[in-house]
A and B are shown apart, each in its own frame.
Chain A
Amino acid sequence: MNKLNFLQPDKNNLYTYLYTGVILVALSIFIVFLNSFFNKDIVSFLPGPISFFLPLILGFTGLHLIRIDYSGLRFLDSINKNINTNNFNAFLSLLIVFIVIKSLPPLLSWFILDANIAGDSKDVCTGSGACWTYIKIWFNRFMYGMYPNPEQWRINLSFIALAFLGCVGFFATEKFKKYLTLYYVVVYPLIAFFFIFFFISGGPIFFDFSYGIIAAVISIILGFFIPSKFKMYYFIIVPITLYILLKYVFFYEELIELGKLEALEWVETGAWGGLSLTFIVSFFCLIFCFPIGLFLSLGRRSDFPIIKYISIGMIEFWRGVPLITVLFMSSVMFPMFLPEDMFIDKLVRVIIAISLFEAAYVAEVIRGGLQALPRGQYDAAKSLGMGYWKMHILVILPQALKLVIPGIANTFLALVKDTPLIFVVGLLEIVGMLNLAKTNPEWLGFAMEGYVFASVLFFIICYAMSKYSYNLEQKYKTER
């Protein structure tokens, strides 16, 4: 080997190289550190360009000196293996370290050190940092939009209740596990819909809902005493009968009386907003787009030509246009398609539009899963005498859906990230509220704080979702 071995340590002078290298790297980092945190340039006696590049040159030489194949020191070896494998890598590593050190002080000072959070008007924001007072004062609006302040407990209560109901799956006993799918696909969305429709929206209609709750509670309590043989029929018949009895026989007079009272103030959907609206819209679209997408994907793979081409047309149409034009359509074009006296609420129109739009993407994802299944699965199911629906529900879909968990999660993430677009129809979720707050004459000039705040919120939500989907994927992974 007559390779040029310039400045490479060998057996004899190992420690000289090591100490020099470590000192050089430490020195370079120290210079940058002093420069960025204390604004002191200890190498300013050198001419401009040299003093600018000096830390880089020092660190680079140092890293070059300590690059040893195997030293026996754990720390040194891991450095060499991870960030110092060759000259180019060493250079990039140094650059990244320096940039991080350089950018820490301004970020720290903007976020924390020079930021203001006390007080409740713009005047307290005198520092050069962020004005978190602005977020504090507007926090309610960012969360609830124009929803009246004294009524906001309704939103909180609904969300907490729904969160608890959503956790039922974790506590279900073995016996009820098989009903969980039914619960999550049918019962839970219905409950959520009732909560949002009756509770958040409010109005005298709320009492309908309270009868429903009473009927459900009574029938569940009584349900414990019913032999399991009849439980299914019981739970279909009794709650509905109870509800009708309660509403139209026992408390009919009270209903009329209470209806006049308007116990829960009615809040129109135009006043909803903020992060809670983001949740509501994405929740409903998520619920609706999945079954629609499922049927579209099955339709696209159907043997019936008419159904097949209608599905293809639907999917390709929604996938081909941007969401913003779909929302434009739902706001300016769709009312033209309805009879004159028929009016559909803005929020409902938006939810329908986004659901149909995302359903097309879900359909394509599921189709990928269906295509990935080997033909043998279909043949085996058919040879057992299963029909189309039985085959799909029992054999094909469980396997196909398992395969496409990441894809579906990505689509749902895209859906959550698309919700801010509803500003097109004048619904102000959190990004829309930010833009509104930004133009408030009392609070001009705090756009940055608002956007940073919303970005962090969205990042937390979406990152949590993607991590959860990753866990789900690992949980249901089966060797094939």
Chain B
Amino acid sequence: MNIKKLLPQLLTLLVVILVFGFFSYNAQINMENRGITFGYGFLSQESSFDVQFSLIEYDGSHSYFRAYLVGLLNTILVSVIGIIFATIIGVVVGIARLSNNYLINKTAAVYVEFFRNIPLLLQIFFWYFAALRALPLPQDTEPMFGVFFLTIKGFFVPAFVWNNLDIFIYSIIAAIISIIFVRIYAKKKQEKEGIQTPVFSISIGLLLILPILSFLFGGVDASVEIPVIKQLSQSGFTYEGGIKLPPELISLALALSLYTATFIAECVRAGVQGVSKGQKEAAASIGLTPNQVLKLVVMPQALRIIIPPTTNQYLNLTKNSSLAAAIAYPDLVLVFAGTALMQTGRAIEIVSITMLTYLSLSISISIFMNWYNKKIAIKEK
């Protein structure tokens, strides 16, 4: 290794080290001046603040770590809801974009152009401060299908009350495992004898039958709890029972899924268009039915193009869910980097934990994506 190669590297390293050294030196002095000692011990202290909406049991007497978990779970909740709806809308719009029907095509195009050219934050504000504020008060609400109540205070849906929920879950897990076995068996059989097994209908059957069996014999029992209106004060009403989805969650999930769906739609469109026409024609010429062409030739190739950018969009959605802080949905950023930071004043520790959480999430997904890309890449000779 000669000096010409070594010098620029050493210089860069020196600059980076100097910058980091400068920062950490200042941080140390500043913390000394303010009487803070660096450390993560505060995580086990009592947090003494409340969170509006939480999936796990939480109040002020729990620790800061518990508050962190509450925020993380809320982030995951809104991300999962957003991902599900964004995928559904995105796939539908993406296919509509490919339609040869002029009206459908243009409607989808207008939707995509409109929603992806408006800042997400503006959309969240729009849904939260403008659209959902126009909803009726709890006492004036007309129920949808008799059981759903969409009010200004949130969306009230019926909840299931389960007996022996664990057996039900086991039955579903058993169904999934048996489906996997059936698929393996069907594949082997096809390779050996060339006979196809109707895997899809068998899977659906298994998914239906096993849980039903658990109802009949496993002692599983589910009843529905419908929200009932309740008077709090002279003019204050609310619903009791069932599940309450706060308006923050609704507007956030709505904005996230509508915004991300536009990008997923473009991914889907690019993917399907990326499969060359010759492939379809070749598949048809060897006698595959249109369904088989779609299932065996077009989809595998299109998915190879669609999935990587779509995963990226899922990741973006998860990161964008941190905009929740703007409308006070208690996600990781608001609960931890907001309230907890204000209370403890430990800027470095808390911001670093928050960033690390998001960082590990996205790095793990990108590692998974790299592995997946390698796995599905076309093996060229």
Contacts and interface: CB of A to CB of B under 8 A. Distances in A.
To the question of whether A and B form a pair in one complex, the answer is yes
Interface of A: 82-83, 85, 89, 92-93, 96-97, 303-307, 310, 316-317, 319-325, 328-329, 332-333, 335-340, 413, 416-421, 423-424, 431, 434-435, 438, 447-448, 451-452, 454-455, 458-459, 462-463, 466
Contact of B358 (A325, A418, A438, A448): A325
Contacts of B24: 337
Contacts of B201: none
B9 interface: yes
A93 B105 CA distance: 10
For the complex, would chain B's binding face be called helix, strand, loop or mixed by DSSP majority?
helix
B379 interface: no
Contacts of B16: 310
Interface residues of B, number: 60
Given A337-B23, A418-B119, A82 B358 contact: no
Nearest to A86: B101
B359 interface: yes
A322 B351 contact: no
> When A and B form their complex, which 7 residue pairs have the shortest distance between CB atoms, in order from nearest?
A462-B117, A82-B102, A322-B319, A320-B359, A337-B23, A306-B9, A322-B322
B26 interface: yes
Contacts of B130: 447-448, 451
B8 A325 contact: no
14 contacts: A85-B101, A89-B104, A92-B101, A306-B9, A316-B363, A329-B351, A333-B348, A420-B122, A421-B323, A448-B126, A451-B125, A454-B122, A455-B118, A458-B122
Given A85-B101, A328-B351, A459-B114, A451 B122 contact: yes
Contact of B129 (A82, A339, A451): A451
A319 B114 CA distance: 26
Given A304-B9, A340-B29, A438-B129, A320 B118 contact: no
Interface in B73-131: 99-104, 107, 113-114, 117-123, 125-126, 129-131
B5 A455 contact: no
Contacts of A321: 319, 355, 358-359, 362
B177 interface: no
Contact of B101 (A89, A317, A324, A424): A89
Interface centre among B9, B29, B122, B126 (most CB of A within 10 A): B122
B267 interface: no
Contacts of A307: 8-9, 12
Nearest to B20: A337
Contacts of A337: 22-24, 26-27, 30
Contact of B12 (A306, A322, A434): A306
A202 B92 CA distance: 53
B103 A97 contact: yes
Contacts of B29: 339-340
Given A320-B358, A337-B22, A340-B29, 13 more contacts: A82-B100, A82-B101, A82-B103, A83-B103, A92-B101, A310-B13, A321-B355, A328-B333, A329-B355, A413-B117, A417-B117, A448-B126, A455-B123
Contacts of A306: 9-10, 12-13
Interface in B319-349: 319-320, 322-323, 325-326, 333, 337, 341, 347-348
Nearest to B318: A322
B355 A325 contact: yes
Contacts of B99: 89
Contacts of A420: 119, 121-122
Interface of B: 5, 8-10, 12-13, 16, 22-24, 26-27, 29-31, 33, 99-104, 107, 113-114, 117-123, 125-126, 129-131, 133-134, 319-320, 322-323, 325-326, 333, 337, 341, 347-348, 351-352, 354-355, 358-359, 361-363, 366
Contacts of B126: 448, 451-452, 455
Given A85-B101, A329-B351, A463 B121 contact: no
A465 to B, nearest CB: 9
B186 to A, nearest CB: 32
B102 A83 contact: yes
A341 B361 CA distance: 37
Interface centre among A303, A324, A431, A466 (most CB of B within 10 A): A324
A454 B126 CA distance: 10
A306 B337 CA distance: 33
A441 to B, nearest CB: 16
A171 B134 CA distance: 52
B107 A96 contact: yes
A458 B100 contact: no
Given A82-B102, A322-B319, A338 B26 contact: yes
A66 to B, nearest CB: 16
A132 B187 CA distance: 65
A421 B119 CA distance: 9
Contacts of A424: 325
A332 B118 contact: no
A431 B119 CA distance: 10
A325 B361 CA distance: 14
Contacts of B341: 332
B113 A463 contact: yes
B377 to A, nearest CB: 14
Given A82-B102, A97-B103, A339-B26, A324 B323 contact: yes
A365 B63 CA distance: 42
Contacts of A97: 103
A423 B12 contact: no
A101 to B, nearest CB: 13
A323 B29 CA distance: 28
A329 B352 CA distance: 9
Contacts of B123: 455
Contacts of A85: 100-101
A424 B333 CA distance: 11
Given A325-B337, A329-B351, A423 B363 contact: no
Contact of B347 (A83, A332, A421, A458): A332
A459 B117 contact: yes
B171 to A, nearest CB: 37
Given A89-B104, A304-B5, A305-B9, A333 B125 contact: no
A405 B347 CA distance: 39
Contacts of B26: 336-340
B118 A458 contact: yes
Contacts of B31: 336
Contacts of B30: 335-337, 340
A93 B361 CA distance: 43
Contacts of A83: 101-103
A336 B26 CA distance: 7
A322 B347 contact: no
Nearest to A413: B117
Contacts of B103: 82-83, 92-93, 96-97
Nearest to B354: A325
Nearest to A467: B113
Interface centre among A333, A454, A462 (most CB of B within 10 A): A333
Nearest to A331: B347
A147 B242 CA distance: 50
Given A96-B104, A451-B126, A320 B363 contact: yes
A290 B320 CA distance: 23
Contacts of B333: 322, 324-325, 328
Contacts of A325: 322, 333, 337, 351, 354-355, 358
A324 B325 contact: yes
A231 B13 CA distance: 40
B358 A322 contact: yes
Nearest to B107: A96
Nearest to A456: B118
A458 to B, nearest CB: 5
